[in-house]
Amino acid sequence: MECHNIQTAELFRSMDRVRKAWHSVSPCDALSKSQFGTLMAIHHFEMAEVNGEKNKHVKLSALANSMGQSLPALSQRVSLLEDNGYVRRVPDPDDRRTTGLELTDEGTEVLELARQRFDGILSYAADYLGPETSGKLIVLLNQLAEALELAVSHMVQTEEQIKHDEIKEIH
């Protein structure tokens, strides 16, 4: 049992160190990582083709769905990006009740600068690790994410079962 606790503590320390290092990585002074990710997602939608034509804009609900984020949180972030002049809302020509999002020229410029900086930082880290270790790390990080997701799911199910059992005992 002691070995397991030492390993768990070491894993916690390592993950905390990675969290701190990742926190210090910034795509650029003008954008947070979440803002950068939002601009990247909008750009991705703009580059996608539908029926042989490029998308002109993306609906906020489609963006939230593709990013796996809540509509209110994403809406708040998009409003900030809009205030900074990186995104604009445009009327949907097919449905005037809704609006779409598109990058402004300034948004495209800041996205490209941020992407170059981010790529530079991550490329440096990958070069430092080397291709074999980088590849193994990607696999291990995905396995760790899956293990944590399963652990949380299992914990939630267990807690719900305990509550259910307690309620049955009371009645």
CA–CA separation, 142 and 115 (whole Å): 23
The arrangement of secondary structure in 2-129, i.e. its CATH architecture, is Orthogonal Bundle (1.10)
One pLDDT digit (tens) per residue for the chain, 171 residues: 566 788 999 999 999 999 999 988 888 888 999 999 999 999 988 887 666 666 677 888 889 999 999 999 999 999 999 999 999 998 877 777 888 899 999 999 999 999 999 899 999 999 999 999 999 999 999 999 999 999 999 887 887 777 777 777 776
